[in-house]
Copies of this chain bind each other. A is one copy, B any other.
Amino acid sequence: MQLYDLIDLDQLSTKEIMELIDLANKIRKNPWAYRESCRGKIMATLFYEPSTRTKMSFQTAMYRLGGEVVGFDNPQNTSVSKGESLKDTVTVVSGYADLVVIRHPCEGAAAAASLYSKSPIINAGDGGHLHPSQTLADLVTLYNEKGRLDHLKIGLCGDLKNGRTVHSLIRTMTHFPGSSFVLISTPDLALPKYVQDVMDAAGCPCTIAENLEQVLPTLDVLYMTRIQQERFSSREAYEKQKGVFVLDRAKLRSAKPDLRILHPLPRVDEIAVEVDDDPRASYFHQTVYGMYARMALILTILQSQGRPERKRAPRSTHPNHCSNPKCITQTERYLPRLFTEAGDMLLCSYCDGGTLI
């Protein structure tokens, strides 16, 4: 398979995703065979917001392939603090490195970077928008721990409104036959409508629950997320409700023996420490699978031949500016304004946000 940038997991077919999962497993079973695969190659990690976990996973992946890593994780120490544009930073760094991994607080930043980069871009998180390598890690975990990616009943618990890993996992799982979902959350932290729409369009059954314990016995997979106190309307609301979404040994008693529990980590206290020794707890395995997923991703990109011709960045397709206040185009004003039309909406090609015409 040929892969250049990875901005959004949706750009891959189910077949291509399966190829990446297979490669991750091949590497996992015989890592020594790959330890020189990227010798002489350099990966840059441009982390405009800190994320040690993701960065260490990418770094380790590259080192285990024999490559090297440069980068920064604190824009205060960089040319960025002197007012340098994303375009200039990416142009320069992609001249040094064979691959650029970018994390940025603004939505659409990775797509913007890909317009100017001389090397492939991997999106390692653009604000609350996308985080495709995390989803790939989730899929490698599910495939290995459940033995399949189809016909899974997946419970998603916690903050479903702000959790980009949840949105991305749902979108991807709708492509596999027989997926069904149980959403366990408060009304305030419910899944956004556009993700709900994706499930509906794919015809995937979906149940809404406000109590983890009641639905737990029906699940094949439980995907837990961190639920932040500050997301609740008040401290009282938080104190009253948080227990409902905490997974502990008592609640697990009624769960299936082959349930698998995932969590993108870091956790705070939404999973009791006592659960860690339960054989159904897969969240620590998940980080190891994630490393192999990233190795597969890096290797596939660096071995792809038919790289697209890099040309000038495209011209603006519309005079409008994207109305999403978190979109990268709000701060990087030189970016061409790129949209696709969808009925009476313009969809921003960077952040996927909709703007009424």
- Asked if B284 contacts A92 (CB within 8 A), the reply is yes
Contact of A97 among B60, B73, B83 (CB under 8 A): B60
A91–B74 Cα gap in the complex (Å)?
A: 25
- Asked if A96 contacts B60 (CB within 8 A), the reply is yes
Binds B, one of A63-71, A163-171, A196-204, A239-247: A63-71
| Chain B residues with CB under 8 A of A276 | 87
- Asked if A267 contacts B77 (CB within 8 A), the reply is no
Binds B, one of A48-56, A123-131, A147-155: A48-56
Contact digits for A18-49, partner B, Cβ 8 Å, 1 yes 0 no: 00000000000000100100011010100000
> Does A78 make an interface contact (CB < 8 A)?
yes
**Segment 228-259 of A: residues with Cβ below 8 Å from B:** none
- Asked if B291 contacts A95 (CB within 8 A), the reply is yes
Specify the chain B residue showing the minimal Cβ separation from A271. B88
Of the listed residues A63, A76, A92, the one surrounded by the most CB atoms of chain B closer than 10 A to its CB is: A92
> Does A356 make an interface contact (CB < 8 A)?
no
- Asked if A84 contacts B267 (CB within 8 A), the reply is yes
A83–B78 Cα gap in the complex (Å)?
A: 25
Specify the chain B residue showing the minimal Cβ separation from A63. B68
Contact digits for A83-101, partner B, Cβ 8 Å, 1 yes 0 no: 1110111011101110000
A56–B35 Cα gap in the complex (Å)?
A: 24
| Chain B residues with CB under 8 A of A288 | 95-96
Given contacts A63-B70, A265-B92, A284-B92, contact A35 B42 (CB under 8 A): no
- Asked if B70 contacts A59 (CB within 8 A), the reply is yes
| Chain B residues with CB under 8 A of A50 | 76-78
A44–B78 Cα gap in the complex (Å)?
A: 19
The oligomer's copy count stands at: 3
Given contacts A50-B77, A68-B63, A287-B92, contact A312 B42 (CB under 8 A): no
Given contacts A59-B70, A70-B56, A96-B291, contact A87 B273 (CB under 8 A): yes
- Asked if B95 contacts A284 (CB within 8 A), the reply is yes
Chain B: minimal CB distance from A209 (Å):
26
- Asked if B266 contacts A84 (CB within 8 A), the reply is yes
- Asked if B79 contacts A64 (CB within 8 A), the reply is no
> Does A194 make an interface contact (CB < 8 A)?
no
| Chain B residues with CB under 8 A of A284 | 91-92, 95
- Asked if B92 contacts A53 (CB within 8 A), the reply is yes
Given contacts A95-B287, A95-B288, A96-B291, list 20 more A-B pairs with CB under 8 A. Answer: A40-B66, A42-B63, A50-B77, A50-B78, A52-B79, A53-B92, A56-B70, A56-B71, A56-B93, A57-B96, A60-B70, A60-B96, A63-B70, A74-B77, A82-B268, A84-B265, A84-B268, A87-B273, A87-B276, A92-B265
- Cβ contacts A to B, 10 pairs, < 8 Å: A32-B40, A42-B60, A42-B64, A52-B77, A56-B93, A87-B273, A88-B266, A88-B267, A91-B284, A92-B284
